[in-house]
Structure 1
């Protein structure tokens, strides 16, 4: 039976029966698995970083590229992925992205050198940049309005939270008992399962005719600019901020990013993002909030993981287990946000969640070298998890509010891109600040002081996000 879902309800066209017919339940399940896997991959390697460094002989600076290679290709190419999904079909792009992500994960698990692992992580990011916006656009168009939309985004946000938070636990257990390579291999069965669910449950959407070709030049410019920006900041441990090397690198990065904006404004191809989209206050505010939250959260995971292992001397599995209260807090916050979402404005939930998480990070910034998990980390972790859980569903709903169905993939990609770019830039800036504060003599005391500074800076970023939620965002009640 052929079914066409009209544009009036914000859904894409479904053209085939049988396997190609849309099944909302299976679509939601596929999107949930995809989001869990993508979020998991952002955090699963964190606890395994010391073992990865030892196993492949990474340098201290080089090790951060295990994170940056994924986050930057993911964030930099998300807009191209979103445009490609809108133009060529979300199901097609989702299936292709899942296949590429799974194969890259397999290759990363077999890596024998730093270069091979970083390359595999970069290809993972390319796959994620294709599958993530396609999946979120499918969720947006399958559940366009009402309570079904609130519930669907609640499930999405819970899986997003669970993947990000449980990734540290899973990574710790796998690293200690199976070896670091399994933090890469673990993605393979999940990608295969999501591929099967998507093949059977996602309706085949029609290719959108007309328009120009995707803006590959724009994708190259924004990704290259972000890579140079991060590279320039990371290298300040060897070349000071005023050195010709750093100034040249950062100037080139700014030039590339400026060129990207110019290309998006003047290109005859289909731009990665229509700049007029930012006149929508919900889109602008949601992405600004997401940029700040991504920077703070990625840095907090990094600092807390290193504090527990490097200062308190906890093993990888124990460290992963100690992130469980944070995971449970995020899931709890996500569930509460769904219930409160029927009565409170999304911007109110964002402001509340951002404030709670900022307070938690400021609290965690009081860590001491002679502290313990119970006294120094447990309370802040529960509070931070709950606060961040409040933010997940509202920010997604706001970022796609009032956006035409033809741009749903772009808006979804833009939100994910702001998070990934924020994570990479925030990690770079805060780790650099912490390293400078630590100084050349590395002791438990100096390390703790550096990590504490990083956590306090993260608190400031989230406080700024709460201000954005109050001052910029405007959204309808209950969505």
Structure 2
């Protein structure tokens, strides 16, 4: 084992570093930052968008979920495409699709046009993000790689934080269209810089791409979201609710069966049977679902029930966003000392306590204090999820496992917003004049976090990560 390790270090010492590597990291980091920003930037603008385009509650929910559904559903597919066609080529293809879709969303005058733009943004993000991550991991080596991955990991928390502030500033200033238009010049600039600044890593022939697997997984999740959103308007007994939910169950079963027999599976189902990976996936799904739904609910509550502007809403959300960063930043140190299980359980208990505050204490102080406490717990759980899943995985499976955990990050956002929108339906439909829906939604978030905390005490493995492990938070 020692001989193997020293050979590995000798090999890394002989690698001539690419002189463009830090400039490449800067270009790719800006691109990734833009993708993360677009998850939360829309939540603050949503009440304004809904008013201008006369969006129903269901359509407003799809504006958030369409992006994260496609981003998550096609992420592993995007990673395989990067292996097969070249990572830099996929970064550029993703940039083209994302930038053009941002323009479409900004120009939207109808709900289908806006949701279509968000779908396109999600597809572009799914092509770009894993390819960019692949370039970072292959361009940097040794201690520099840890530093580069640290920068990459920090983008997740700060992107979400800046998103709520930028959403408020742009919506209150030039208008909500600019939360999408701002991506266009940035995307065009990055497209010009990428061929010159970003190296092309050697292509790793991955055989074929499992297109059917990607379509099955994304369609199943889309059907589940459709059914969940419809339940808020028509009830659980309505055929437009239970038929999509039943279809989703069948499609998931077909997906797992197909992945078990195909030669080049998108996802090896045996990975999810591994306890650390399964635990990491569940933690990621729940933590990101709760985090994004906090911004979603809070934005409607502040602007509709409390009559605050988009700008004030964005500013009020700053402590919440900082809470996420503080929780995520400190989680790594605490996990090294106490292990995965105590941090995962404690993070979820803190998230439950935070969500309970606005359920019991109505008004703006209760909302911001509660969401800030919850966000600190959720940030810690997100880092715990990644560390748990990746800590003891073989190098050969690190890429696909990372892709899987990040998929649950996006899908958790999509499913969380669909569920919480349905629970809060009465408040969203009455534009905040009836607040019981908000109370029920926060109560549901608190109970969910508590139930998952109890499950985590049994599911999350004991133990601490190996020395020197550095994880990317997104």
TM-score, length of structure 1 as denominator length: 0.85
2:243 to 245, 248, 252: 248
Alpha-carbon contact 1:99-1:191 (below 8 Å) kept: yes
Offset at 1:465?
4.3
Alpha-carbon contact 2:289-2:416 (below 8 Å) kept: yes
Alignment of 1:312 onto 2:306 = yes
Instruction: Specify the alignment match of 2:354 in structure 1.
Output: 360
Instruction: Specify the alignment match of 1:473 in structure 2.
Output: 460
Distance (Å, rounded) in 2 between the aligned partners of 1:78 and 1:175: 29
Report SS of the residue matched to 2:214: helix
Instruction: Specify the alignment match of 2:370 in structure 1.
Output: 380
Offset at 1:317?
0.5
Offset at 1:290?
0.5
Offset at 1:87?
3.4
Instruction: Specify the alignment match of 2:318 in structure 1.
Output: 324
How many residue pairs end up in the alignment? 459
Alpha-carbon contact 1:140-1:408 (below 8 Å) kept: no
Q: What does the per-residue CA deviation read over 1:309-328, in whole Å, with 9 as the maximum and x for residues that have no partner?
A: 11111001110110111122
Offset at 1:296?
1.1
Alpha-carbon contact 2:68-2:410 (below 8 Å) kept: yes
Instruction: Specify the alignment match of 2:161 in structure 1.
Output: 165
Offset at 1:280?
3.5
Q: What does the per-residue CA deviation read over 1:192-249, in whole Å, with 9 as the maximum and x for residues that have no partner?
A: 455566545544222223x541111111111111111111222224433223343322
Distance 1:52 1:378, change over 3 A: closer
Alignment of 1:180 onto 2:176 = yes
Distance 1:281 1:169, change over 3 A: same
Q: Which runs of 5+ in 2 are unaligned?
A: 1-5, 470-474
Alpha-carbon contact 2:287-2:381 (below 8 Å) kept: no
Distance 1:336 1:401, change over 3 A: closer
Offset at 1:383?
2.0
2:442 to 455, 459, 463: 455
Instruction: Specify the alignment match of 1:401 in structure 2.
Output: 391
Between stretches 386-395 and 95-104, larger displacement belongs to: 386-395
Alpha-carbon contact 1:88-1:207 (below 8 Å) kept: yes
Instruction: Specify the alignment match of 2:3 in structure 1.
Output: none
Instruction: Specify the alignment match of 1:3 in structure 2.
Output: none
Q: Which runs of 5+ in 1 are unaligned?
A: 1-5
Distance 1:439 1:194, change over 3 A: closer
Distance 1:385 1:294, change over 3 A: closer
Distance (Å, rounded) in 1 between the aligned partners of 2:254 and 2:240: 21
Alpha-carbon contact 1:233-1:246 (below 8 Å) kept: yes
Distance (Å, rounded) in 2 between the aligned partners of 1:439 and 1:92: 42
Offset at 1:122?
0.3
Alpha-carbon contact 1:283-1:399 (below 8 Å) kept: yes
1:235 to 230, 236, 242: 230
Q: What does the per-residue CA deviation read over 1:129-169, in whole Å, with 9 as the maximum and x for residues that have no partner?
A: 11222233444555677x76665444333321111122111
TM-score, length of structure 2 as denominator length: 0.86
